[in-house]
């Protein structure tokens, strides 16, 4: 079993929809959680960074961490065709020396 599970999709939504992307993980020691966006043939771009449990909002993006359920989410409001990309969750713990453990990535397609 992988440490981080993420549905690869693709997830297809109409423009303007609220998108929910999720990851589950098995290692309860993970403390730091990130979401990256990756366009085709580009490097991952850091979108959100969260420490421990709780919510964090940045513009149209909201990241949620539920450590009790070992579940993290990224919500995208008012989705746009430019949001079409692969979304990767990543996490780490202090003892990992900053080594990020990634999910497989979810392909999102926003249709205009």
Near another protein by CB under 8 A: residue from 43, 59, 68, 112: 43
Each residue 9-28 as x (binds another protein by CB under 8 A) or -, in order, gives --------------------
The token duo for 1 is 């079993």
Q: Which stretch binds another protein (CB under 8 A): 18-26, 64-72, 74-82, 86-94?
A: 86-94
Let me know: does 38 contact 105? Beta carbons within 8 Å: yes
- Tell me if 34 contacts another protein by CB under 8 A: yes
């Amino acid at each position: 079993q992988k440490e981080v599970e993420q549905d690869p999709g693709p997830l297809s939504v109409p423009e303007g929809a609220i998108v929910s992307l999720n990851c589950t993980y098995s290692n309860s020691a993970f403390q730091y959680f990130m979401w990256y966006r990756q366009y085709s043939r580009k490097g991952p771009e850091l979108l959100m960074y969260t420490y421990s449990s709780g919510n964090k909002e940045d513009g149209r993006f909201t990241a949620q961490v539920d450590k009790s359920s070992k579940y993290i989410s990224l919500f995208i409001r008012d989705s746009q065709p430019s949001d079409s990309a692969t979304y990767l969750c990543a996490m780490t713990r202090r003892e990992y020396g900053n080594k990020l453990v990634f999910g497989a990535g979810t392909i999102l397609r926003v249709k205009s």
